A = this chain, B = another copy of it.
Amino acid sequence: MPLCLPQVLAFDVFGTVVNWHSGIEREVRALRPDVDAGAFALAWRAGYQPAMQRVRSGESPWTLIDDLHRLILNQVLQQFGVTDLSEEQTRHLNKAWHRLDPWPDVVAGLTRLKSKHTICTLSNGNIALLTNMAKRAGLPWDCILSAEVFRAYKPDPAVYLGVAKIFDLPPEAVMLVAAHQNDLAAARACGLQTAYIERPAEFGSSKLKDVSPDPANTRHARNFLDLAEQLGC
């Protein structure tokens, strides 16, 4: 450690690249000023892992994140007593995940990292979601990779090893960049290098999360600019 510099940097997206909490909060607040928008965002996101788990376990057939988000949204709207949205309003709200803003360091950091590495998404989000998000936010990806390409959700090894296979590289030539230790641990078990990014406000600024380093990661960076610095970009 550290190994050779990775050729491909594969990025987790929700929480790592974009601030889902403030983005969802903003859209819910605009639609329904009377609802606790921060709590709504947390409830919507809380349904995410269980929904993917049903797909991973085989209980549900393969289902895209846009559709899983909609199933969870229907429940959360009920839970928060929002029962009068039209189908068009509900569809629009569901696509709030396509309209999330990046953290302030992201565009400048990715632009630097892109100068020496191939940068791609590696998200459970579907391709259209990631493409629309990138277009709106100006994220300069070289390539958009998604669970949709592999028909498997992280932390399934097929996703991490799939990136290496696509680029015809050994796993150690790929680095997963993420703000979640469990995602990184699963990538590491597949032989990828890993970089942890501190996003203390992922769940909102009133509920800061633990961003302690895990020495098992190849890198630990405050943000994408710090990672670019560490990788000599």
Please give the residue numbers on chain A whose beta carbons come within 8 Å of chain B beta carbons, in ascending order. Answer: 66, 118, 120, 126-128, 130-132, 134-135, 142-145, 148-149, 166-168
Contacts and interface: CB of A to CB of B under 8 A. Distances in A.
A121 to B, nearest CB: 10
Nearest to A132: B118
Nearest to A144: B143
Nearest to A120: B131
Nearest to A95: B168
B166 A148 contact: yes
B134 A168 contact: no
How many subunits of this chain does the assembly comprise?
A: 2
Given A144-B143, A144-B144, A168 B127 contact: no
Nearest to A145: B127
B168 A128 contact: yes
A201 to B, nearest CB: 29
A145 B120 CA distance: 13
A128 to B, nearest CB: 5
Name the 10 nearest CB pairs between A and B, nearest first.
A131-B143, A128-B167, A143-B144, A127-B166, A135-B142, A131-B142, A149-B149, A128-B166, A128-B168, A118-B131
Given A131-B167, A135-B142, 16 more contacts: A118-B131, A118-B132, A118-B135, A120-B131, A126-B166, A127-B143, A127-B145, A127-B166, A128-B166, A128-B167, A130-B143, A131-B142, A134-B142, A144-B144, A148-B166, A149-B149
A32 to B, nearest CB: 25
